[in-house]
Structure 1
Amino acid sequence: MDVKQFIRTIPDYPKEGIFFRDITTLLGDAEGFRSAVDALVQLHKGAKFDKVAGIEAHGFILGGAVAHQLGLGFVPVRKKGKLPWTTIGQEYDLEYGTDTVEIHSDAISAGDRILLIDDLIATGGTAEAAVKLFARAGGNVLAASFVIELSELGGRQRLEALDIEVLSLCAYEGH
């Protein structure tokens, strides 16, 4: 299945020169959504994970479905201040400033092997922060999978430098 057929491209959003890759059309199509989740699961056939983690917000939808298919628990990686219990966080740089992602302090156990899921990898900053956050919590992100990879922005290389296997269902050139 060519996942790109289900992805809408919106030119000049959020600013001129950017092509926004919108997966809401993928999520809204029963065949496309099922195929994407099945494909994400198949990328890791035979691998041993203890938890699936998803990055806010599309990573929740995809990661939750992947966790269900794999029979594993799901860990939400949220923006700072969104989780109601004791958290640990990891700050990361943005183009203009910083942001923080958090998980509950009891979300994983020491030694847990984690599969990280999100809709898109661009520069890899948020995914890298999640990997470092899980390491600080005692876990080990073994792989990170995405529906879309914006290859020119270097996110894959950023995660591979941390010894993370990076897989994606499709790639686009440019921004």
Structure 2
Amino acid sequence: MKIIDTALPDVKLLEPQVFGDARGFFMETFRDEWFKANVCERTFVQENHSKSGKGVLRGLHYQTENTQGKLVRVVSGEVFDVAVDMRRSSPTFGQWAGETLSADNKRQLWVPEGFAHGFYVLSDEAEFVYKCTDYYNPQAEHSLIWNDPAVGIEWPLQGEPKLSAKDLAGKPLSEAATF
């Protein structure tokens, strides 16, 4: 597995070694001892799988209790995946990193605890799988508004994004709960 730095030092892009031929491919997507030795010391307790259509924007989500680190990847389609640093004491507070994840490039993004996370679907549909370091706690979930000019995410939008009511009600960084 190759580790690639992103615009935020704590957010890492992981690129697996893929073994392929005319029959298909094989790749190792996660190895606990390698992750702990090369990325960070974490244990994953939950795995989620979502499917979304083209133009859907999910996020930017985070939890202030049961804070989750997420190892995310796309198993079908393509998304633009984003992490925003919500840690007030961090030198990168309020800054973002974005990467294209797809079934073709097979890359994964490590989004540590203390970051808001979201993605925008670029393909006709996308299936998204992610491991979490803590359990989902809806009472502690928050949404940072996706288009806050103070954060300035450069989403590769293709028309108006499709948002949930929860995401439409996201707060700007100046009003959002932080760490």
Query: TM above 0.5, one fold?
Result: no
Task: Select the structure that is richer in helix.
Answer: 1
TM-score, L = length of structure 1: 0.30
The structure with more strand, counted as a fraction of residues: 2
TM-score (norm 2): 0.30
Q: Which has the higher contact order (CA 8 A, sep 6+)?
A: 2
